[in-house]
């Protein structure tokens, strides 16, 4: 089978197409013919070598966690799935599992049934960003109807879902992105769009109940300043975790600051997919690449100008 592998850490150029053995389903495994792969910033961080997961890789390594596809074979211990099922999920994140391949193995708890009306590309795009946005808003920010929330990077993968989920929760949503993405972000339901390239968001978004930050650094410091005393802030990039200046600022302002780590939940994944099927939640796949152009998909993510999600199509 074809797979995209890395034999060293580095730029997107280290991603190479290779011929690898097709995996065989063990007793408790499911063999999936991959249709689409969702690409996330973490993929590029692992590839570059600086992520915790990078240390555990053995070369040649196959990256990739978010996939959709069709079940081709099941081990004798599998009861929930059968050949021909259309599925999607997050493969063993943060373990090493190899989603950049024509075929992958999954356990029963790593995948869920894909609703028929949700395209493979949109399903593959969902797991990491959908779970992150859902958990950020509900587990950590605990958004309640009528509260105000600021969503940073609202045009990106996590942000564009967070805006919609915050609206569904009944929040008043302030959202930052570049001016060119104003119409897109407003179409998601944002009440107050802020062009971070020309407006200081902390001047406009004041006394917020909660903020979801996607940047860290100065953006995080200003995010802490724009929540009310006792407010809540989540900061998504784990590379900024435990920034002492942010912790001190949060302490001074009595702000609850958390760096969350996405966890897997098939219940939440199925709920989000159902919302997509019912057209209550819109997954915007802004950039689609062929399997051969995996390196360009990584370059797109690293541009920091991604609108919605980056997806790579496999096998048609
Ligand atoms: N902790 C976790 O479990 C977890 C899970 C998922 C993701 N993450 C992290 O969360 C971050 C966001 O992930 P993602 O998938 O949403 O990334 P993404 O799709 O690549 O985000 C790109 C977006 O960032 C926006 N942006 C760039 N600079 C900005 C700024 N100064 N202010 C506001 N927006 C800005 C861009 O908006 P414009 O193009 O409109 O300028 C673009 O839409 C990443 O660092 C990722 O690693 C963490």
User: For residue range 165-180, what is the model confidence (pLDDT) as tens digits?
Assistant: 999 999 999 999 999 9
11 and 96 co-located in one domain: yes
Q: What are phi and psi of 194, to 5 degrees?
A: -125, 120
Crossing angle for the helix pair 120-135 and 157-168, to the nearest 10 degrees? 70
> 178 C-alpha vs ligand 1 centroid, how far in Å?
12
Higher pLDDT, 224 or 93: 224
Is 265 part of a structural domain of the chain?
no
146 and 218 co-located in one domain: yes
For the CA atoms of 213, 215, 219, 222, the dihedral, rounded to the nearest 10 degrees, stands at 30
Is the beta carbon of 300 within 6 A of some atom in ligand 1?
no
Residue 95 reports pLDDT greater than 80:
no
> 159 C-alpha vs ligand 1 centroid, how far in Å?
7
- What pLDDT, on the 0 to 100 scale, is given for residue 299? 98
Tens-digit pLDDT profile for residues 298-311: 999 999 889 999 99
For residue 54, what pLDDT band results from cuts at 50, 70 and 90?
Answer: very high
Residue 267 reports pLDDT greater than 90:
yes
Q: Provide the CB-side half-sphere exposure for 1 (13 A, CA).
A: 22
Rounded Cα distance, 264 and 66, in Å: 12
179 and 291 co-located in one domain: no
Average pLDDT over residues 126-153: 98
Q: Which of 8-17, 90-99, 125-134 has the lowest mean pLDDT?
A: 90-99
Is the beta carbon of 215 within 6 A of some atom in ligand 1?
yes
Is the beta carbon of 249 within 6 A of some atom in ligand 1?
no
> 99 C-alpha vs ligand 1 centroid, how far in Å?
22
Q: What is the CATH number of the domain that holds 147?
A: 3.40.50.720
DSSP letter string over 220-283? HHHHHHTEEEEEEEEE--GGGTT-HHHHHHHHHTT-EEE-------HHHHHHHHHHHHTTSS--
Q: What is the pTM of this model?
A: 0.97
Mean pLDDT of the chain: 96
- What pLDDT, on the 0 to 100 scale, is given for residue 2? 96
> 157 C-alpha vs ligand 1 centroid, how far in Å?
7
| Stretch (H or E) spanning 184 | helix 182-187
| Stretch (H or E) spanning 275 | helix 266-277
Is the beta carbon of 29 within 6 A of some atom in ligand 1?
no
253 and 138 co-located in one domain: yes
Average pLDDT over residues 62-85: 97
80 and 147 co-located in one domain: no
Is the beta carbon of 306 within 6 A of some atom in ligand 1?
yes
206 and 247 co-located in one domain: yes
139 and 254 co-located in one domain: yes
For residue 270, what pLDDT band results from cuts at 50, 70 and 90?
Answer: very high
Is the beta carbon of 205 within 6 A of some atom in ligand 1?
no
219 and 136 co-located in one domain: yes
Is the beta carbon of 237 within 6 A of some atom in ligand 1?
yes
- What pLDDT, on the 0 to 100 scale, is given for residue 128? 97
Tens-digit pLDDT profile for residues 177-195: 999 999 999 999 999 999 9
- What pLDDT, on the 0 to 100 scale, is given for residue 65? 93
Is 303 part of a structural domain of the chain?
yes
Q: Give the start-end residues of each E strand in the chain.
A: 2-5, 16-19, 30-39, 66-74, 86-90, 103-106, 111-113, 148-151, 172-177, 192-195, 208-213, 227-235, 256-258, 285-290, 309-313
Count of other CB atoms within 10 angstroms of residue 287: 18
Q: What is the CATH number of the domain that holds 109?
A: 3.90.180.10
- What pLDDT, on the 0 to 100 scale, is given for residue 92? 74
Is the beta carbon of 136 within 6 A of some atom in ligand 1?
no
Q: Which range marks the domain in which residue 226 is found? A: 129-258
Residue 68 reports pLDDT greater than 90:
yes
Pick from 38, 25, 125, 112: nearest CA to 76: 25
137 and 248 co-located in one domain: yes
Average pLDDT over residues 129-138: 98
pLDDT over 90, % of the chain: 93
How big is the chain by its Cα radius of gyration, in Å? 20
- What pLDDT, on the 0 to 100 scale, is given for residue 315? 77
Average pLDDT over residues 268-275: 97
For residue 52, what pLDDT band results from cuts at 50, 70 and 90?
Answer: confident
Residue 97 reports pLDDT greater than 90:
no
Atom of ligand 1 nearest to the CA of 262: 3
Higher pLDDT, 55 or 154: 154
Is 276 part of a structural domain of the chain?
no
Q: How many domains does the chain have?
A: 2
Handedness of CA 110, 152, 197, 237 (dihedral sign): negative
């Amino acid at each position: 089978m074809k797979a995209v592998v890395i034999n060293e850490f580095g730029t997107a150029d280290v991603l190479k197409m290779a011929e690898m053995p097709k995996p065989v389903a063990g007793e408790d495994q499911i063999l999936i013919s991959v249709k689409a792969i969702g690409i996330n910033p973490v993929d590029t961080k692992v590839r570059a070598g600086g992520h915790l997961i990078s240390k555990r890789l053995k070369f040649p390594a196959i990256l990739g966690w978010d996939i959709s596809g069709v079940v081709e074979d099941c081990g004798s211990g599998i009861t929930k799935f059968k050949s021909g099922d259309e599925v999607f999920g997050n493969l063993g994140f943060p373990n090493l599992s190899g989603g950049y391949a024509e075929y992958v193995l999954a356990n029963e708890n790593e995948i869920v049934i894909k609703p028929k009306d949700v395209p493979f590309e949109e399903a593959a795009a969902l797991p990491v960003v959908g779970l992150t946005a859902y958990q950020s808003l509900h587990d950590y920010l605990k958004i309640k109807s009528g509260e105000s929330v600021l969503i940073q990077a609202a045009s990106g993968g996590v942000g564009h879902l967070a805006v919609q989920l915050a609206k569904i929760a009944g929040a008043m949503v302030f959202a930052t992105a570049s001016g060119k993405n104003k119409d897109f972000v407003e179409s998601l339901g944002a009440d107050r769009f802020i062009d971070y390239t020309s407006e200081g968001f902390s001047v406009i978004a004041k006394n917020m109940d909660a903020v979801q930050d996607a940047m860290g650094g100065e953006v995080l410091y200003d995010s802490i300043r724009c929540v009310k005393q006792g407010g809540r802030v989540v900061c998504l990039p784990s590379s900024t975790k435990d920034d002492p200046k942010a912790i001190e600022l949060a302490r001074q302002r009595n702000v609850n600051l958390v760096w969350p780590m996405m966890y897997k939940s098939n219940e939440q994944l199925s709920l989000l997919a159902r919302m997509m099927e019912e057209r209550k939640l819109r997954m915007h796949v802004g950039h689609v690449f062929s399997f051969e152009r995996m390196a360009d998909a990584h370059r797109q993510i690293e541009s920091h100008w991604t609108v919605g999600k980056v997806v790579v199509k496999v096998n048609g």
